Structure 1
Amino acid sequence: MNLPNPIARLVATQNSFDSVAYAQCFSETAVVFDEGKTHQGRAAVQDWIAEANEKYKATMKPVGFEEKGAESVLKAEVSGDFPGSPLVLSYHLVIADDLIQSLKITG
């Protein structure tokens, strides 16, 4: 599957559990929506993914990708230490200047 650079980097850094490199995929003012919470800014994104990596140890396997106007949607099979694993989750992304501006994760 041919993914845009920021999304390919996001998957690679998630699968290596590198929260610093993961956060570098995002702009300084990026917003992440996950599990009913909002994380604003690159530092908050790094804290969120570091905590999630510790808690869930989740890896991603892309299974679908489409672009819908300004939004890209990555569907990924996510496996880890959580009930129902593996699950297919949708990652709704807005990308500008080769960085993720927003990410919303839905089931």
Structure 2
Amino acid sequence: MSIELPKPIADYVAANARLNADAMLKPFAADAIFLDNGKRFEGHDQLRTLFEEEVIAVKAIFTPDAIRREDDQVVVEGPAHGDFPGSPLRFTYRFTLEANAIKALEVTI
């Protein structure tokens, strides 16, 4: 199933599919906040560490299959698969976009 995602989200998802940290960072604002199951990461340096240690290291690839808007957020859901316990797991990504960039992202299972 193919869904249409806003450009910064589509760019992030495509970069994640390639497990490319530089490309994954590109759609995020410089001061973006990423909440990953309760852990907070802020700014490109911390996001890079998150991507390298917790996404790329376990080859976690998110495949969105649903999208909806809730207030000022774009909510995207789908499975992620990789070399981690329980794979695949279904995740919910809550994006806040600002000026064609990802300003905030909250990821929950």
What is the TM-score normalised by the length of structure 2?
0.92
Q: Secondary structure at the match of 1:50?
A: helix
CA-to-aligned-CA distance 1:56-104 (integer Å, 9 cap, x gap): 2111211100111211101021001111111110001100111100011
User: Which residue of 2 is the match for residue 72 of structure 1?
Assistant: 74
Among residues 57, 60, 80, which one is paired with 1:58 in the alignment? Answer: 60
What is the TM-score normalised by the length of structure 1?
0.94
Q: Aligned partners of 1:69, 1:76: CA distance in 2, in Å?
A: 20
* Residue pairs, 1:9-88, within 5 angstroms: 9-88=11-90
Among residues 7, 19, 22, which one is paired with 1:5 in the alignment? Answer: 7
CA-to-aligned-CA distance 1:36-71 (integer Å, 9 cap, x gap): 311011221112111123432111211100111211
Q: Aligned partners of 1:45, 1:20: CA distance in 2, in Å?
A: 10
In structure 1, stretches of 5+ residues that fail to align are none
May I ask how many residue pairs the two structures share in their alignment?
107
Q: Aligned partners of 2:56, 2:7: CA distance in 1, in Å?
A: 25
Is 1:24–1:42's contact at 8 Å kept on the other side of the alignment?
A: no
Q: Aligned partners of 1:27, 1:71: CA distance in 2, in Å?
A: 15
In structure 2, stretches of 5+ residues that fail to align are none
